[in-house]
A and B are shown apart, each in its own frame.
Chain A
Amino acid sequence: MRKWLFFAPLAIFLGVSVFLFTGLFSDPWTRDSALLNRPLPAFDLPDLMQPEQRWNRELLTGEPFLLSVWGVWCPTCKAQLGFMTELKEQGVKVVGLYYPLPVDPAFGDHFSLGQLQRDVQRELAYFGNPYQFNILDENRRLSLDLGVSGSPETFLVDANGKIRMHHVGDINPRVWRQKFEPAFEQLQQVGLAYQGAQP
C-alpha cells in the first residue's frame, strides 16, 4: 500500500500529461454534425440566378452530390472554388447553398438581389464555377436547420437525400482524398448498381 502510494503522484502526473499533450493536437472544430445519417431538412427556396425557379428537397434527390455552403463575402469559400471546379470536371455534382450576410436596416443596409447576382457572377467567372446551380438561403433558414455555424461548410448527400458527411472548412485536395473521395465513390457505385438493376 505504501509503495503504491509513493508512485501515485507520478502516475497522476503522467496521466494528466498524456491527456493534455493529446489535447495540443486535437481540433476543437471537429464535431460530428447532429444531422449525420438524417435526411436533408425540408425547404422551399429560390434559385440564386433565376429566382422564379424554386428548389426543394425532392428536386435534389436522385444522385449523390456535394452541398456547399458559401458566400462571396467569405475568402476561404472563394479559395476553394478552383479545386471544386476540378471536381466538377471529374463528374462530381456540386450544389451551392448561398449564405447571405444579415442586413441591418438600422445601419442603412438593404438586400439587393441584382447586386448579389452580379457579385456572384464576377467571383465565379474569376475563380471558377463548380456549381450546377445555387440555392439562395433567404434568412439562412435552411442553414440553421442544417446546423451550419459559418462558411464554408460542405455536406455529402446521397441519392436518397440523406446526409452522409459533413465538413467544416475548405475542400482542398487533401480533405477530398482523405475524407470525401472514398465515401463519394462508394455512393456513386451504389447509385449506378441501383440504376442498372432497374429495367
Chain B
Amino acid sequence: MSRLSALLLLLCSLTLWAGQEILPFEDDAKRQLYQELVQQLRCPQCQNQNIADSNAVVSIDMRNKTYELVQQGHSKQEVIEFMVDRYGNFVHYSPPLNPLTLLLWVLPILLLVLMLWYMLRRRQTVQTAKASNPALEQELDAIIDAYRSKK
C-alpha cells in the first residue's frame, strides 16, 4: 500500500509544474496574441524549435520580452519587427519577400505554371494531330466500330 501511494506521489512531481507558465493577461485577445507569437517566433539557439517549446535561456528571455511588449499593447507586427531587428529573419518562421528569398516564394508557383503549360501543350498537340488527318480518322473510327460490333 505504501509503495502504491509512493508511486502516486511521483505523479505530482515538481517537474510537472515546471512546464506550466501562468501569465496574467488583462484580456483574451492579448493572451491569444502572446500564444500566437511564441508559436511563430523561432528560437535562435536551437536549430528548429519555436520559443514556446524551447527552454533555452534565450527563449525564456524572448518569451518574457514578448509578454512585456504584448502587455504594453504592441501589435503582432511590431513584436515580430522587434525580434527580427535583433535576431534577423531567422527568428520568424515566415520569411519576408525580398531578393534573397525570392526563389523560395516564386519557385512553387513557377513549377505549377510550368506544369500547367506542359499539360495544355500536350493536349493541344494531340488534338491538332487528330484534326490534321480527317481521312485517317474516319478510317480508324470505322475499324473501331467494326471491332466493337464483333464483340
Contact = CB atoms under 8 A, between A and B. Distances in A.
Interface of A: 28, 31-35, 101-102, 139-140, 143-150
Interface residues of B, number: 16
Contact of A149 (B45, B65, B84): B45
Contacts of B60: 102
Contacts of A102: 57, 60-61
Given A147-B44, A150-B56, A140 B88 contact: no
B150 interface: no
Nearest to A104: B18
A143 B58 CA distance: 9
B105 interface: no
A35 B83 CA distance: 12
Nearest to A146: B86
* Interface of chain B, main secondary structure: helix
B79 interface: no
Contacts of A139: 61
Given A101-B57, A102-B60, 5 more contacts: A31-B90, A140-B57, A147-B88, A149-B44, A149-B56
* 9 closest A-B pairs by CB: A149-B44, A34-B88, A147-B86, A149-B45, A147-B87, A149-B58, A150-B45, A140-B61, A144-B61
A125 B62 CA distance: 34
* Interface of chain A, main secondary structure: loop
B12 to A, nearest CB: 15
Given A28-B47, A144-B65, A150 B58 contact: yes
A140 B62 CA distance: 10
Contacts of B47: 28
A50 to B, nearest CB: 26
Nearest to A38: B85
B88 A148 contact: no
B140 to A, nearest CB: 25
A143 B57 CA distance: 11
A101 B55 CA distance: 12
B86 A150 contact: no
17 contacts: A31-B88, A33-B88, A34-B86, A34-B87, A35-B86, A101-B57, A143-B61, A144-B58, A144-B61, A144-B62, A144-B86, A147-B87, A149-B45, A149-B56, A149-B87, A150-B57, A150-B58
